[in-house]
Chain A
Amino acid sequence: MAERTASMAALKAIKQQVNACHAKFRLRLMICGSNDCHLTGSGDVKSSLDMALQETGLKDQVQIVETGCIGSCSMGPVMTVFPEEIFYMKLESEDVPELVENHLIKGVPVQRLMYHDPVTGQAVPRRSEIPFFALQHSFVLHNRGLTDPRRIEDYIWRDGYQAMFKSLTALSPSQIIAEVKDSGLRGRGGGGFPTGMKWEFCASTKSDVKYVLCNADEGDPGAFMDRRIMEDDPHAILEGMVIGARAIDAHQGYIYCRAEYPLAIERLTCAIAQAEAHGLLGRNIMGTGFDFSVDIYQGAGAFVCGEETALMNSIEGKRGTPRPRPPFPAVSGLWKKPSILNNVETWSSVPQIILGGADAYASIGTETSKGTKVFAVTGKINHIGLVEVPMGTTLGEIIFDISGGVPNNRKFKAAQLGGPSGGCVPADCLNLPIDYEEIVKAGAIMGSGGLIVMDEDTCMVDMARYFMDFCQDESCGKCTPCRVGTKRMRQILENICKGNGRIEDIELLESLSVAIRDTALCGLGQTAPNPVLSTLRYFIDEYNAHIIDKKCPAGVCADLFESPCRNACPVEMEIPAYIALVRAGRFDDAYRVLKRTNPFPSVCGRVCGHPCQSKCRRGQLDESLAIKNIKRFITDHAAPPNVETLPVTRSEKIAVIGAGPAGMTAALEMKKRGYAVTVFEALPEAGGMLRWGIPEYRLPRDILAREIQDILDTGVALRTGVKIGKDLPFADLEKSYDAIYIGVGAQKSMLLGLANEDADGVMGAVEFLRSHSLGEAVAVGKSVAVIGGGNSAIDAARTALRMGAYSVKILYRRERRDMPAIQVEIKAAEEEGVTIEYLVAPKEILVKDGKVASLELSRMRLGPFDASGRRKPVAIEGGEFVIPVDTLIPAIGQQAEPDLICAPGIGMTKNTITVNPDYSTAHPRVWAGGEVVTGPAMVIDAIAAGQKAAAAMDKALREIKGEAPWKAVQEKIDIPFEVDEDTVEQPQAKMPALAPENRGKNFAEVELGFNPETAVREARRCIRCDAVRGQ
């Protein structure tokens, strides 16, 4: 039995004892004892350390302490070595000998086990220097990593129970309430009701009995803040509750905690027993005459029991369903007695506020949201864990700076705040400050602190369905809107996910959301539509894709596609089919399959941005399949399918302007449909950007020529050297052709917007590459600077190098991870000697004798987030510097040439043609597609645009004559289904390439292609996730 701690002096004595104990040890190893770290093996690490200390005789010098969770959950098991605060992560017991030998004995910390900066790769030794910790503000979590939650002495050592003593001896109840009110503390359970005001209401209600309740029924998917506070700092909750009890004159408290949190219950039980034994809880607390007891009530885990009235019903032994309010709990709560209910985080903030003063607390945060907020950051995020930040911190700072952003180079898509009652906010909202009102404006709620990060692989419709499912499952069923309304919404969402959505469903969902929000009995129902409303607000395109196109862009809704790779492909190439044929050695058949959906398979086998690969299911096991390379292998090794001249069966004539991939595809598709087609091309050869923009070392000319010839061989007429509007008036086309398709691409580099951009030696990347391809006399100087981070920048840089430049620098205004260029290309450029400088942007082009001489650059830092989810670069003042440059190639984007498309009656926005969803323009006989519509995109996007526009043109032309649209007759090719019985982990096959030293100054193709053995082996890696059950 501990001695009753009846005074401040007694608290101080305990503090001194703990200090004295710490002083005995040279080093203190603080191992995180959270569940997560336990699961990853912290127990083994600790026992290995224990043994090692025993064996090495360090036991008297080195102390091991198992602390509460420090929040860096995905880094575990973690350990911090005090006093230097050296932080180790992902420890294994095998690491212990090295740790003991080097760090504990020799005093040399083990770098290998430290956190490494993801960009620089540098080890960061101290915990306080790691961004995850450095950028946080510990207030509620101020004891994390410093105490053993099972020892009340540790809590007292951290000034625990002093606030309680102050509240019981030096403050009157109204002073306590004033302090809490002045602090600006608002309910951390999510509602954000001012805590002091709640207490004041209850204090002013007259009653012989009152209750203080702690809501520990945390149940949002992905939320674990309260659980961790209970497990790691249980006394803070108890201390807060005593202070609250004193404020309203209550003598009994309950902590309502779900039974699914056994460790939390164990730690709380232990804390209550210790506090009682020390006279810090129970009768006559600290000799002040104040009595207060706390009991734990274990709930069975119904989410609705987190609703205050349902929680009270549950404690009363009734079914956990909400009761109507008013009366409010402050007037009639538990057992109809005035009660205050706050959540775990709120309670544990209270002692700190009393101790540090309201002003100090109120100085943190925003105008209306004070103090700090703890978030459980989960989902597609590098550092899953517990994060505490001051109110006002932006969402982007939490997600990117503290939690390390989205893993696997995926794009950030949305953050779900506030769990099932909250909303999904998109990248546009990354600058959103954490503030009750601001978050509501954005369509979400603060909630209790669950923050789920979603990347491009998340389908927002599916996400809305999931949350509606959750609400339906967790609805108590008492009120109609929640019981039936959420069910109906869920059904509608399910229909949409299954491809059975109707366009009017959107309006219906909105209308149902409003009705449910307006009529449901409790918060659960009233907020249940939030995830739907927020996704409708920000991701309506995804809903439309599901409803209109019957496509799930994220590749999640399984009813809408056969395989995720095919779903991701803009032309839906039959990827599983041709991979299966390669596996079976039927390369010729594979080629026929390729050609069914794509007239440019050998081009795409080389230069496609392969969105398919990022969705490959195999990637979830080890690495995605090398789909692009297998495609190239087929076209390299198989006999090309025969091409026959296709007969003209229709009277209408079609003109296509632009012989790039969009135009040529559209021409072929119209030819297949029986039309006479003529393609007009301004340049001497067909191919567009493929011919003139992509360097030969990536796409050999003969390869491209072969696929273009295949199209011409069907009977498509090509007229090169004819620039419409210059060589031939557009009106002539209108006269001679029934339908016109414009696919002229984006042929003009965007300007930097600086003076002297017209000087000699400055040339846009597109123009530079085109001139080179045309064989024009372009010269590069010694020092070439390329501005930009996309594929054109890399192409220009590598081409310049091959043309004899002495030094080629790519100057990019953001960080490497933000570069839109294909990673392999960036690496290849670096291998060849291109240097890339990040966070720099051109400020001034300096000219000498009319020729570019040097470039003044600004050093940039990353500012607020932009709509793409990346930070916007901002110039650092005084960070200007000058580099010598004799050739400057801006590669910051392309646009269409307005004079190429100045056909009358075509709607234009900026530099693109405005089209309807069916690619028709404002001109009744003109369709358009490709980069002239979308701006810079992938080859495969242009091909897709050509196909879709052709289908729409054909449909329109036939409609005039009352005919049904054309239907393709597909050649039957039997696709084998063969999979390995066991899947053995095996990385993607590497693409053989010319050694950098052999690439030299020539334009020989760098990538060499798979041999049959590699291709078949790679094809075998396909897990055939397209298999239909029962197949």
Chain B
Amino acid sequence: MAVLTIDNLAVEVPEGSTILEAARSAGIHIPSLCTLPEIHHSPGACRVCVVEVERSRALVAACVYPVASGMKVKTSTRRVREARERVIEFLLSDHPRDCNICQKHGNCELRQVAELVGRREISVPCTDFSVHDIDDSTDVLVRDMSKCIHCLRCVTVCADVQGVFLLTPEGRGFASRVVPAMGHCLADSACTFCGQCTVVCPTGAIVEKDHTDRVWAALEDPSTHVVVQEAPAIRAQLGEEFGMAPGTLVTGQMITALRRLGFDRVFDTNFTADLTIIEEGHELLHRVKTGGKLPMITSCCPGWIKFIEHFYPDLLPHLSTCKSPQQMFGALAKTYYAQKQGIDPATVFVVSIMPCTAKKFEAARPEMRSSGHRDVDVVLTTRELGRMLRQAGIELAVLPEGEHDAPIGRYSGAGTIFGTTGGVMEAALRTVYAVVTGKDLPSLDVTAVRGLDGIKEAALEIGELGEVRAAVVHGLGNARKILDRLAAGQAAYHFIEIMACPGGCVGGGGQPLPASDEKRILRAGALYHDDKQVQAIRQSHENPAIKALYDGFLKAPLGKKSHDLLHTRYTARGI
């Protein structure tokens, strides 16, 4: 342990701690912008957290400066305050002033830190701004480098967490900026659209493309039948948009809120999550039995799909051919549901509420039109739905709980846990075990695949199949590790679940901000709670709505209709 003095306060912290950590442990909040310890990101770049260390010539950045016993630190002397004010002034002098119309309004760390630092004027000339073209090339993310404060968090999350290495600083001095590799626009790049950059960006430099206007338009169009599906994670996230504690389950309020917005039907993606388990479980069994490509890897995560398409195209045959629950939903909404309801599929408008930015890309993929129309019309992130509800003046917390509409709203606990890492695997194992052995798993809680470890493994004896080995991976950086092993023939698994985002969908690129691992764990906990305590049915194959779907429409898993509507193919892409 090191004992040091901070603002005349004796502080004891472990060796190797930074001054920032030591100060925060002592209740002294040093403002900081660039550092993000959760992703091990401390470039010492923004210089907001400078403090005075006795006998040091210049001020030092508290976020990177290691403590030492006997060190004397002052965190708010005049010199420190003036320096911090200048740094903030520099940042503000090169930042657009249109805060009030910025998407990050209310969630902007620059504004929060500027407030803490307390700069009240800009005395340097700011006639010269960093002006960069806005990268609006995709329907998913919008990058506006004029709002960038060069914290480099996006670079680190993209490289070190997600292993994509797409974003990189280029240029020098004032002209330096963060760009996709080779200066390509996002549309031409190997971006997976996981959106983790939007999660870590302290300002509005990288945000999801807002599609709320499209939804408003559809809702206001009387000739359109607007249905909505919500991803599993949404019910565990949406409350945060309204100041509720992370991990608050708001399923019922969410349904009511969506109805009040004017959706004609409120369904649920959890339904197609159950369906995915049926299709994917049978696909796995089929592969195992017929000597198909193993391990089979899940395919519900669009960020992950784009990643493998770019970086490991040779491994594409390992992917399950199942579409994601979102797309299965879209296909069914415009076929099964439309038929059942007797309405023209062309008038059905499918809106998805997803904790994800990549879903926007997935919905727009050309192969996702098996209903004869674009299966999913608009994808909104949790944040966008929050915005819409606030626009509509709907106060989530006080709403009565509603119920999903039939026929594609009912779901099992297995469908719910899709929203967290390990959930798909757990749900699949429950059903596969039951299908193979005809019995339920001795314990439906497969705890080995839960939690935030980057790569989790489980092995299960499943009747005639013998030992089934499974791995669960979240975060594309971890995906890279397991794919490298797979490519090297060192991944003797039967089934692998891969989710692009750390923590799975509860940590998705569209999640409420600010995000943290702590919140991800609480959200996952809410989903497990829903599975165990709320839902009467915990296994997908037991969902009566699923049974009805097969009986009345699909006939059998992996059948012709399933093949047409619920399965897809993949495209090898360059880097």
Contact = CB atoms under 8 A, between A and B. Distances in A.
Contacts of B61: 324, 521
Most chain-B Cβ atoms within 10 A of its Cβ — which of A486, A495, A515, A517? A515
B150 A480 contact: yes
A521 B44 contact: yes
B86 A485 contact: yes
A471 B82 CA distance: 23
Interface string A458-483: 00000000000001111111111111
Given A487-B128, A492-B125, A515-B86, A302 B66 contact: no
Chain A contact residues: helix, strand, loop or mixed = helix
B549 to A, nearest CB: 53
B447 interface: no
B83 A515 contact: yes
A488 interface: yes
Nearest to A486: B173
B394 interface: no
A520 interface: yes
Contacts of B125: 488, 491-492, 495
Given A321-B169, A324-B43, A481-B47, 19 more contacts: A319-B169, A326-B65, A477-B172, A477-B175, A478-B169, A480-B45, A480-B87, A484-B94, A485-B90, A487-B128, A488-B90, A492-B125, A515-B82, A518-B58, A518-B59, A519-B50, A519-B58, A519-B83, A520-B47
B123 A508 contact: yes
A598 interface: no
B173 A483 contact: yes
B205 to A, nearest CB: 15
A319 B168 contact: yes
Interface in A507-559: 508, 511-512, 515-521, 526
Contacts of A520: 47, 58
Chain B's interface size range is 35 or more
A472 B173 contact: yes
B65 to A, nearest CB: 7
Contacts of B124: 488, 491-492, 508, 512
Most chain-B Cβ atoms within 10 A of its Cβ — which of A321, A471, A526? A321
A472 B173 CA distance: 5
Contact of A519 (B87, B171, B172): B87
Contacts of A495: 125
A479 B152 CA distance: 10
Given A319-B168, A479-B44, A487 B65 contact: no
Nearest to B64: A324
B79 interface: yes
Contacts of A473: 172-173
Given A324-B64, A480-B45, A518 B93 contact: no
A518 B83 contact: yes
B46 interface: yes
Contacts of A486: 173-174
B455 interface: no
Contacts of B112: none
A319 B64 CA distance: 19
A483 B47 contact: no
A179 B526 CA distance: 68
B45 A478 contact: yes
B46 A480 contact: yes
A516 B50 CA distance: 12
Contacts of A483: 90, 150, 173-174, 176
A484 B92 CA distance: 10
Nearest to A475: B173
A1009 B50 CA distance: 70
19 contacts: A321-B169, A324-B42, A324-B65, A326-B65, A326-B66, A471-B173, A474-B172, A477-B174, A478-B176, A479-B45, A480-B150, A481-B47, A481-B87, A484-B174, A486-B173, A491-B125, A508-B124, A515-B82, A518-B59
B530 to A, nearest CB: 44
Contacts of A479: 44-47
B93 A477 contact: no
Interface string B126-155: 111000000000000000000001101000
B176 A477 contact: yes
Contact of A487 (B79, B169, B174): B174
Given A479-B45, A521-B45, A472 B174 contact: yes
A302 B172 CA distance: 9
A486 B125 CA distance: 12
B79 A518 contact: yes
Nearest to B178: A477
A518 B91 contact: no
Contacts of A512: 86, 124
Contacts of B64: 324
Chain A's interface size range is 35 or more
A160 to B, nearest CB: 39
B172 A484 contact: no
A478 B150 contact: yes
Most chain-A Cβ atoms within 10 A of its Cβ — which of B45, B46, B64, B169? B45
Nearest to B52: A518
Nearest to B177: A477
Given A472-B174, A512-B124, A519 B169 contact: no
B515 to A, nearest CB: 24
B47 A519 contact: yes
Task: Please give me the 8 A-B residue pairs with the lowest Cβ-Cβ distance, nearest first.
Answer: A477-B176, A515-B86, A324-B44, A475-B173, A484-B90, A488-B124, A324-B64, A487-B174
A618 B90 CA distance: 44
Nearest to A321: B169
Nearest to A303: B172
B40 to A, nearest CB: 14
Given A484-B91, A491-B125, A519 B86 contact: yes
Interface in A484-502: 484-488, 491-492, 495
B6 to A, nearest CB: 18
B58 A478 contact: no
Contacts of B172: 302, 473-477
B96 to A, nearest CB: 14
Nearest to B169: A319
Nearest to A494: B125
A480 B65 CA distance: 17
Contacts of A517: 58
A376 to B, nearest CB: 24
B86 A481 contact: yes
B91 A480 contact: yes
Contacts of B90: 480-481, 483-485, 488
Given A319-B169, A488-B124, A488-B125, A476 B176 contact: yes
B173 to A, nearest CB: 4
Interface in A289-333: 302, 319, 321, 323-324, 326-327
Nearest to B127: A491
A850 to B, nearest CB: 68
Contacts of A526: 58
B297 to A, nearest CB: 32
Most chain-B Cβ atoms within 10 A of its Cβ — which of A474, A479, A491? A479
Contacts of A481: 47, 86-87, 90
A164 B325 CA distance: 71
Contacts of B128: 487, 491
A794 B133 CA distance: 69
A324 B49 CA distance: 13
Nearest to B175: A477
Most chain-A Cβ atoms within 10 A of its Cβ — which of B43, B152, B168, B174? B174
B44 A487 contact: no
A485 B48 CA distance: 13
A538 B66 CA distance: 39
Contacts of B44: 323-324, 479, 521
B164 to A, nearest CB: 17
Interface string B256-286: 0000000000000000000000000000000
Most chain-B Cβ atoms within 10 A of its Cβ — which of A302, A324, A484, A491? A484
Interface string B321-346: 00000000000000000000000000
